[in-house]
Each structure stands twice: as structure tokens, then as C-alpha cells.
Structure 1
Amino acid sequence: MNNRNRGKNTGDDTLFASEKQISKLKSAVQDMQYLLTRGYPEKASAELAGNRYRFKSRQIQALRGASASEMQIQNRKLKRLEAADLKEKNVYLDGFNVLILLESLFSGAYIFEGADGCFRDLSGVHGTYKRVNQTMSAMDAVALFFRKNQLKKLVWIFDQPVSNSGRIKQLILDFAVENNLNWEAELQYNPDKFLAESSEIIISSDAWILDHCKKWFNLIGYLIEEENLSVNLIRML
């Protein structure tokens, strides 16, 4: 095993640790929600709000992830399921989105709760996925959720164009066999579109998928609350 993790970037404490910075982020989310609700484009809204508070690029990234229009927030809430709705159901999981977010959470990186109640981080795949020290902890957490809520089947969906996607797919399948879990793993060239068009329950915190899917479950929120996880959490509400 290697020594990689998905912890904080150098300088993240300066950007996110103080009450002053958190207060500015919360104000910026309100400003951006106002703009988005009135039809302003996301990128322009983030730049406008970010410039007002003199944010650095990672603060703007957090702001974009946490913000949504009133219509988006309402739409996502209407489609959100509770844990009790999952028993004996098939669930499709946005592989890299969920795995990297959980790896970041277990690494002590900053996790942001957005206006839609979803949780997001500042990590990304950037064309290549690299397994880290927290990968197995992330998979254990999903397995615990799977068993506790008696899901029928869980299907992990990964981006085929991402380097090492085949390896992580095999890791998931091996883990499922070892732990007697009814899991599958698939590679898709356009996983966002695949998940958005699926009639199954979706697990993701990707904004576009949440806007377009039929029904979804907030796994990260569930795990934080149900398992009382230790999280470096910033609530942007």
C-alpha cells in the first residue's frame, strides 16, 4: 500500500478554517443563489460572487459546488429518497464521485454541505484515478450502508475514459466476492448521462446528475449522520 491520501491542500486551513472565511463563504452562497435563481450563468455568478469576497480559486470551487438556484434545490428535494425507501431496491452509484468524496472525508479534507443538502469536496479525478490509503475505508462504509439498509443490488458506475478505471472496477468486484455483497461494477463512456437517464435510484452528489435523474439518495449525508463520522465539515447553508 502507498502513502497517498486525499487530505487538505497546503493553504486550505487559511482559506476555510476561520469563522471569518466561513462567514464569507455562506454570504457568497446566498449571493450566488440569488443570481442563479434569476437565470445568471453558473460560471459568471461564481466569478461575480467570488470577486466580491476576493476569493482564491479553491474558495470559488467550493462556492460553485455548494450553490444552486431555488428551483434546483426544490427539484432535488422532491426526488430525494430516505433510507427506508431503499430496501430490496437496485441502486446505481456514481463510482468516482462517491469514492473520492469518501476518501477525502476519511483523509480529513474539508467537506462542504451545499444549499441542496449534498456534500462535496475539492478533489477530482483529472483523467487518472489513483488508489489511496483511505480507499478500503470508503468501500467498507458503502458495504455497511448496503447491508444495514438491505439493498437488493448495488451497481458501481465508473468513467471508462479515466485511466485505472478498469483496476478500480476489479477491486470493487473482488471486494464484493470477499465480503459476499451483491455488487456489480460497470464502465461507461458517459456515466453522467447513463445515470441521469436511469430509472433506478442514483447515489451521486454531481449537480447535473441530481438535476436530471429520476430519484436519488444522499449517501454521504446518511453516513455522516447514521455512523456519526468524524468530518472536517463546513456547512454552507
Structure 2
Amino acid sequence: MPDSRQHRGPHPQDLGLFDDQHRQALRSATEDLSWLLSRGYALTSCLKLVGDRYRLRARQRLAVARCACSDEARKRRRRNQIQSCDLAGGELWIDGYNVLTSIEAALAGGVILCARDGCFRDMASMHGSYRKVAETLPALQLLAERLSDWKVARCCWYLDAPVSNSGRLKTLIEGIAEQWGACWEVKLVADPDPILATADQTVASADSQILDVAPRWFNLARRVIEEQIEGAWIVDLSSPGKATVSKQP
């Protein structure tokens, strides 16, 4: 069936799955899963154990998996994170789909997870295909505005070539860059992850596999959402006692 979505908004079940009634269980599950990961246990088996204990639904388990991380991973990611003041005059390599879909989802009122490592992650999934939605151009405009404010000299966007419509998104990104007079390059590659993980330049991503290796990274999606999208639906599972929901649709 063709993808006919016009927005990157919430799943029909999300209002019930991420309401105040469930937030304590989600917080506790994230804390427990992180404890197990810190002691070397495998994610898949741990997630089933924790999910069964708290009777979590599939999307809730996905959220917990995206928010949890080991103590060592959190320390390493925080140690290698840079701030916006460090971007001026430099180059930024952007994990295109990872960053863009989170901002699209925030604009559309979708669930945005604040994870234990401080990253914002969305609940969207593309399944090998990307479709432009109503939020795509506004999201790119917000990114262009903030990157200009931070005086980033050059951006290199990496998009997954196997994802359908990557060529069309490349054209959209280049169009926004032309409007802003920004020095942006868009590359279609088979797999951006190994390129970004070993980059000499600062990378922008919330992909845990990249952040576990990258020597310098910037929390781009979070900064744009926090500063530019008032009333975004943030489900904060970042630390014990901090499982808050900033807004529900």
C-alpha cells in the first residue's frame, strides 16, 4: 500500500501509551534496562525481561530501548559532546534522516523522547522509504536558521542512498541552502553510519552506534526542538525521578 502520510505526527495509540498514567513504568523500565546494560547484558534479552516486568506494549518497549544506555556509554557520549559555541567557523557533518525526522515529528506533535544520554529521539520509522511531509520544509528552514546563527561555515549532509526518495530530499536540502546562501553539500551514500562514526569533523546525530565512536558530536535535533518548537511533546526518561511529559496533543 502506498505511503500517503502528510505529517510525521503521533501514532494513534501514542496518546494512551505515553500519558501520565504510564510515565512511572516507562521511567523505571528505562532505569532497569540501563542498569542491566551497564553490567554487560545483551539488549534484546534485557528488553524482553524489562518489558515483561512492566507489561509494556511494543511501542513502549521501543521507547525504552531508545532511551536506555549503559553508564559507560553515557559518560563517553557526554565527554565527546560539544556546544554550539564550538561550531563557529567549523564544519558539521549531519546524519540527515536521523536529524530531520526528529524535527519533523516535533513539528507534527509526535512523541519526542529525551533519552538517558541527553539526546532527543523520535518514534518514527521509514522502513526503507522516505516521504516528504508538511513539516519537511519548515524543519529544514529551522535547521538553516540555527546553523546560520551558530555561524557554521560548512555542512555536509549524509543521506542513505538505498532509502527511496533520497534524491528528492537532496534537491530540497540544496534548495534551502541556496535560499540561505549556506555552504551545504548533500551526499547519497550506501550507509552513512560508518562514515559519520569515524569522521574527523563534528557530527550531528542521535544514533547511539555513531555516538559511541564519534570523537566529536553536537546535539543538533535537541537544540533546534528546544529553542524553536514551542510546545513539542517531550517525554523525558533521561534520569530517575525525571519522567515528565511536557505536553500532550
TM class, shorter-length:
over 0.9
Task: Name the CA distance, whole Å, in 1 between partners of 2:142 and 2:49.
Answer: 38
Match 1:16 to one of 15, 18, 21: 18
**1:73-222 map, 5 Å:** 73-222=74-223
Between Structure 1 and Structure 2, the one with more helix by share is 1
Deviation at 1:181, TM superposition (A): 1.3
Instruction: Assess if the C-alpha contact under 8 Å between 1:188 and 1:194 holds in 2.
Output: no
Task: Name the CA distance, whole Å, in 2 between partners of 1:112 and 1:210.
Answer: 17
Specify the code of the residue in structure 2 equivalent to 1:14.
Answer: G
Instruction: Assess if the C-alpha contact under 8 Å between 1:3 and 1:133 holds in 2.
Output: no
- Same amino acid, percent of matched pairs: 34
CA offset digits 1:27-57 (Å, max 9, x no partner)? 0011001100000111111111111111111
Partner of 1:29: 30
Task: Name the CA distance, whole Å, in 2 between partners of 1:84 and 1:186.
Answer: 26
Specify the code of the residue in structure 2 equivalent to 1:86.
Answer: L
Partner of 1:7: 9
Change (3 A) 1:98 1:10: same
Question: 2:58 aligned with 1:57, yes or no?
Answer: yes
Change (3 A) 1:173 1:129: same
Task: Name the CA distance, whole Å, in 2 between partners of 1:159 and 1:110.
Answer: 24
Task: Name the CA distance, whole Å, in 1 between partners of 2:218 and 2:233.
Answer: 22
Deviation at 1:3, TM superposition (A): 6.5
- Report SS of the residue matched to 1:167: helix
Task: Name the CA distance, whole Å, in 2 between partners of 1:50 and 1:103.
Answer: 28
Q: Which deviates further from its counterpart, 82-91 or 40-49?
A: 40-49
Task: Name the CA distance, whole Å, in 2 between partners of 1:194 and 1:120.
Answer: 21
Partner of 2:39: 38
Partner of 2:231: 230
TM-score by length of structure 2 reads: 0.92
Instruction: Assess if the C-alpha contact under 8 Å between 2:109 and 2:232 holds in 1.
Output: yes
Task: Name the CA distance, whole Å, in 1 between partners of 2:123 and 2:222.
Answer: 17
Task: Name the CA distance, whole Å, in 2 between partners of 1:11 and 1:177.
Answer: 39
Task: Name the CA distance, whole Å, in 1 between partners of 2:177 and 2:228.
Answer: 21
Runs of 4+ in 1 over 6 A off after TM superposition: none
Deviation at 1:228, TM superposition (A): 5.8
Task: Name the CA distance, whole Å, in 2 between partners of 1:96 and 1:119.
Answer: 14
Change (3 A) 1:57 1:83: same
Instruction: Assess if the C-alpha contact under 8 Å between 1:96 and 1:125 holds in 2.
Output: no
Instruction: Assess if the C-alpha contact under 8 Å between 1:62 and 1:122 holds in 2.
Output: yes
